[in-house]
């Protein structure tokens, strides 16, 4: 028998650290090769890591919520190796913890090794602000030999502990947002995994009211909370600051009658070829934008400051800003100009569903050329969007509302929306931006004639 450490792999694009979102296994559990062990979150996306070993889990070396460097041992698995008794060196056992090496097939490794930086926890040496009591840091778990698991009878009920509660990362996030302690939930599933429905029921359960013989006690003031800036939110913040202070932004607005678009959406939903697909005004807007790019290809460009060149992109990689539990992400549809309306509808549905599940692959988060942000789904009329870094334009699609509108010489209730186009004034001047926005508007005013 041998104990082997599984180290956090380099999942690509030079990322040097990741947050442990949640374990899919527990101490004492048998695992097979390629069985999912853990879900991690990098600055780009959430990734599930499979096991390179078959054996029995002996130690979980990192608590969920912790951020660790690439190359750090995160789990110990006892395997049935012939040499027996061999223990792979861990941190402090003769080998640097942050050495980057290929631990999983298919994951790239940067040439240089990273140096693990010292982490400062709130209240530790050099900390200037005391942490809020509700967010006291979890002390690191020192590796200890785990006891052999006790046999479990076939009829035994699976229970969870405070350390190893079994739940998907999105369920953990939901519980945190709703203030539900997962350790208080008894899972109904035989594998002991807590479900979203169980968290929602726990949150909806009425609290025991306080009994007062006189007047009700005054409500206690809520304490401040501190939320670490990390993962997708940290990367998004850095990118938006860089974009806002690098590209000179200009925003133009266009309010228009989209009654024909609303009617077209209703007709398309009734057609058999669109059965099972989500047909919405966003689909028509995406098609109108792609068509407008074909007429004004200069909008589909990027600014290469290092080479002092303007790069005219040969394909439209259409980004769709998506709000997810981990923050804003902008996956893109590669080659959107080659897709018909039905294919575009399928691509949009798959892209947004994958993003909300936190499963967007890294390839879909890079290479975008122009973006749509649909603020209308939140009931917002419009806004001044910030460019996705490396792109020349972003279109904000506002809420569609019935308003009085002059139509054929008479004031009538019509479906109206406002578009806002932000563009990089180094690449797009006022004339090009105006013509492009007007062309998108034409596609929404008369979609059947312009797009189909």
- Which residues are identified as catalytic? 425
Quote the CA–CA distance of 291 and 289 in Å, as a whole number.
5
Name residues whose C-beta falls within 8 Å of residue 281's C-beta, 6 or more positions apart in sequence: 258, 261, 262, 265, 376, 397, 400, 417, 444
Quote the CA–CA distance of 73 and 351 in Å, as a whole number.
33
Name residues whose C-beta falls within 8 Å of residue 187's C-beta, 6 or more positions apart in sequence: 158, 160, 166, 193, 194, 195, 198
H/E stretch holding 451: helix 447-451
Quote the CA–CA distance of 39 and 22 in Å, as a whole number.
6
Greatest Cα pair distance in the chain: 89
Quote the CA–CA distance of 201 and 257 in Å, as a whole number.
44
Closest CA to 304 of 176, 147, 426: 426
Q: Taking the mean position of all CA atoms in its chain, how far away is CA 247?
A: 25
Which long-range contacts (C-beta less than 8 Å, at least 24 apart) are formed by 152-159?
158/187, 158/189, 158/190, 158/191, 158/192, 159/186, 159/192
Quote the CA–CA distance of 178 and 197 in Å, as a whole number.
12
Quote the CA–CA distance of 415 and 18 in Å, as a whole number.
46
């Amino acid at each position: 028998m041998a104990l082997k450490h599984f180290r956090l792999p380099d999942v690509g694009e030079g990322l040097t650290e990741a947050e442990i979102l949640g374990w899919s296994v527990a101490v004492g559990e048998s695992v097979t090769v390629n069985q999912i062990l853990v879900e991690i979150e990098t600055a780009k996306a959430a990734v599930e890591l499979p096991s390179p070993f078959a054996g029995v889990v002996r130690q979980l070396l990192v608590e969920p919520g912790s951020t660790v460097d690439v190359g750090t041992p995160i789990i110990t698995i006892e395997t049935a190796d012939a040499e027996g008794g061999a223990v792979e060196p861990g941190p402090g056992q003769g080998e640097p913890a942050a050495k980057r090496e290929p631990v999983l097939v298919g994951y790239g490794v940067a040439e240089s090794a990273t140096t693990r930086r010292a982490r400062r926890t709130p209240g530790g040496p050099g900390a200037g602000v005391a942490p809020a009591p509700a967010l006291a840091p979890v002390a690191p778990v020192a590796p200890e030999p785990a006891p052999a698991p006790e046999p479990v009878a076939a009829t035994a009920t699976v229970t969870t502990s405070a350390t190893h509660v079994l739940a998907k990362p999105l369920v953990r996030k939901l519980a945190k947002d709703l203030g539900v302690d997962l350790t208080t939930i008894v899972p109904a599933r035989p594998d002991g995994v807590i479900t979203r429905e169980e968290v929602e029921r726990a949150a909806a359960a009425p609290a025991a009211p306080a009994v007062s013989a006189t007047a009700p006690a005054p409500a206690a003031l809520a304490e401040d909370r501190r939320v670490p800036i990390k993962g997708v939110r940290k990367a998004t913040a850095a990118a938006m600051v860089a974009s806002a202070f690098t590209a000179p932004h200009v925003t133009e607005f266009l309010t228009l009658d989209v009654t024909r678009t609303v009617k077209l959406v209703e007709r398309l939903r009734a057609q058999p070829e669109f059965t099972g697909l989500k047909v919405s005004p966003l689909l028509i807007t995406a098609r109108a934008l792609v068509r407008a790019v074909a007429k004004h290809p200069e909008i589909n460009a990027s600014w290469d400051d290092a080479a002092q060149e303007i790069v005219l992109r040969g394909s439209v990689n259409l980004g769709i800003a998506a709000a997810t539990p981990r923050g804003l992400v902008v996956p893109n549809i590669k080659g959107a100009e080659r897709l018909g309306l039905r294919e575009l509808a399928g691509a949009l549905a798959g892209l947004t569903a994958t993003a909300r599940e936190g499963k967007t692959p890294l390839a879909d988060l890079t290479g975008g050329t122009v973006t749509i942000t649909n603020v209308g789904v939140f009931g917002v009329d419009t806004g001044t969007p910030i460019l996705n870094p490396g792109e020349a334009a972003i279109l904000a699609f506002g809420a569609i509302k019935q308003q009085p509108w002059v139509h054929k010489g008479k004031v009538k209730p019509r479906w109206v929306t406002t578009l806002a186009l932000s563009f990089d004034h180094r690449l797009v001047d006022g004339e090009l931006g105006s013509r492009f926005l007007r062309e998108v508007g034409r596609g929404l005013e008369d979609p059947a004639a312009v797009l189909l």
